[in-house]
Structure 1
C-alpha cells in the first residue's frame, strides 16, 4: 500500500463525507422547508376549518329557523286542508241532496202530485172567493138595511123634534 493510495483513500473518504454532509444539509433544508410549508398548510387548514365551523353554525341556525317556519306553514296548511276537506264534504252532501231533489222534481209522480196540489189550491181559492162574495153581499145588504133604519130613525127624530117644538110654543 502506498502513501499515495492512502492519501487518495483518505481524500476519497473525506470527499464522500463532505458529499454526505452536503446531502444531509440539503435534506435538512428541504425538511425544514417542508415543515414550514406544512405548518403554513396546517394554519391555513385550521383557519379554513374555523371559517367552515362558523359558516356551518350560521347555516345550522338558518336551517333551524327554516325548519321552524316550515313546520308552522305545514301546520297552517294542514289546518286549511282539514277545513277545506270539511267544506268539501258539506258541499258534496248538499250537491247530492240537490241532485236527489232535482231527480224527484223531474219525476212524473212529483208532477202529478204538484198538479193535484194546484187543483186543490184552485178549488180552495174558488170556495174562498164564493164565500167572500156571499159574505160581501150579505154585509152590503146589512149595511144598506142599517142605513135605511138610520134614515127612518132620523125622519122620526126630526118629526118628534118638530112636535116638541110645536108643543113648546
Structure 2
C-alpha cells in the first residue's frame, strides 16, 4: 500500500492507503473530518467539496493518493481561534441552510469563488456554485450569504451595509 502524507486543517497525517480509497473517505475515516459529508459519490452534488492547495475539489472524485503532499482544508478547518470563518457566519446569519447536508460543500466552493472573484454579482455567485446542489432551498439565502461574506472579507465594516 502506498504511504501518503497529507496536511489536513493544519495537521499532518501520514497513512498507508489503498490506491482506490477516495479522499472523502480518507478524510472521514482516517483524519476524523466528519464535517465533509459523503453525498453522491459521483461528483454530482458537491456536498463533499474541500479545498486542496486552496482550490475547491469534490473529494469524492479525488483519490487519497492524489492528495499526497497536498494541503487540504475542510469546513472544520476554517476560522481562527474557534471563531467561525466569515462565510460560515454569513451562512448562519442569512439562514442559508435547511437540512445542512450541502452546507459544508457550499461554503468551501463559495470561499474558492471569492478567491477568484472577491465581489461577485448574484449571477456570478449562481454560476460559481452551480456544481453544488441544495435540494431544500431556493438558493436565495445562499446567494445572500455569499454576498454578505464577500463584503465582510473585502471590508469587515462593509458587511453591516449588505442588505438583508
TM-score by length of 1: 0.17
Higher relative contact order (CA 8 A, sep 6+): 2
Greater share of strand? 2
Point out the structure with max Rg over C-alpha.
Answer: 1
Greater share of helix? 1
